[in-house]
Amino acid sequence: MIQALLPFLTAIALSTIAAFYSVIGLAQIFPGSFWPIVIMGTVLEVAKLVTVSWLYNNWNVTMRAMRYYFVIAIVFLMLITSMGIFGFLSRAHIESNIVVGGNSVQIQIIEQQEKISKERLAYLLKKAGDDPDRIARTTDRAIQETQAELKRLSEEKLPLLKEENKLLAEVGPIKYIAEALYGKEDPDFIDKAVRVVILIIIVVFDPLAILLLIAANQSYRRIKEEEKPEEEEPRKKANRKRKVDNQPVVSVESFVDNKHQLIPKDKITNLDGGSF
């Protein structure tokens, strides 16, 4: 029984996770009708599993047109599930990119401000060297203000750099995969690698759940056939030969001569048991 129960439970677990990802992904594709999409997706996922199990067990007794429709419906339901999973996983990747991108934009802004401040400081230092009499007055104060600005920008930049390093560490594995597949020259190498990984997950997610459900039905049917008692063959009645009494019986033929005429009573003298 474990041969049928284990694939069945695994198929249900895979289908449940796929249904969750699919329903959430479809609801994100159609955000204007969140709960109706959730209800529709849940019912469709349950209907898909029931249809697969029923069709497998009743394949030989189902009309051909009905079989074709069920198969086509199952294929389209698998495509819908895969589309929802793709939407769910791709949104997770996009959200992480938004966080990384927003952090990078803030760092770039601070770096631009730092560049401007450094250029201003270089100009002020050059001006102070050209006019040493004024360094103690306006130039010295401007230099101090610029240096304070650079210090403030560095303090703002430090936590952003830490956060960016943390986010880059989270996307590190997919980054290495993307570099191996596409190289660093392609500006969209990470996004392309993410799409490939998502497609691979889709290929082995819902189809595997369907095939495991069919395998569970096969194992269950085989177990039932093995447990079915064998039909006993009808016993053949023994042909008993009746014993035939071969003892001689005295009949009328004994009193008939060769001419088929009755022998008179007074002429019968040599019979066992006496004479008449």
CA atoms 157, 163, 169, 170: torsion sign: negative
Greater model confidence, 250 or 223? 223
Helix runs in 131-188, H state only: 140-170, 172-182
Position 41, amino acid = G
Greater model confidence, 79 or 145? 79
Residue 275, pLDDT score: 46
Q: Mean pLDDT across the stretch 261-275?
A: 53
| CB-based contact 100:168 (threshold 8 Å) | yes
DSSP-assigned beta bridge partners for residue 256:
262
Residue 231, pLDDT score: 53
**CA-CA distance, 167 to 96, in Å (whole number)?**
8
CA atoms 57, 62, 66, 72: torsion sign: positive
Residue 75, pLDDT score: 94
Confidence of residue 230 (pLDDT cuts 50, 70, 90): low
pTM of the model: 0.62
Cα–Cα nearest to 217, from 46, 15, 11: 11
Q: Mean pLDDT across the stretch 32-42?
A: 88
Residue 50, pLDDT score: 93
Q: Inform me whether the pLDDT recorded for 28 exceeds 50.
A: yes
Residue 256 has what DSSP assignment?
A: B
**CA-CA distance, 81 to 87, in Å (whole number)?**
10
Greater model confidence, 266 or 249? 266
Provide the residue count of the chain. Answer: 276
Q: Inform me whether the pLDDT recorded for 266 exceeds 90.
A: no
Residue 112, pLDDT score: 87
Residue 227, pLDDT score: 78
pLDDT in tens, 70-93: 999 999 999 999 999 998 888 887
* Lowest-confidence region among 141-150, 202-211, 239-248: 239-248
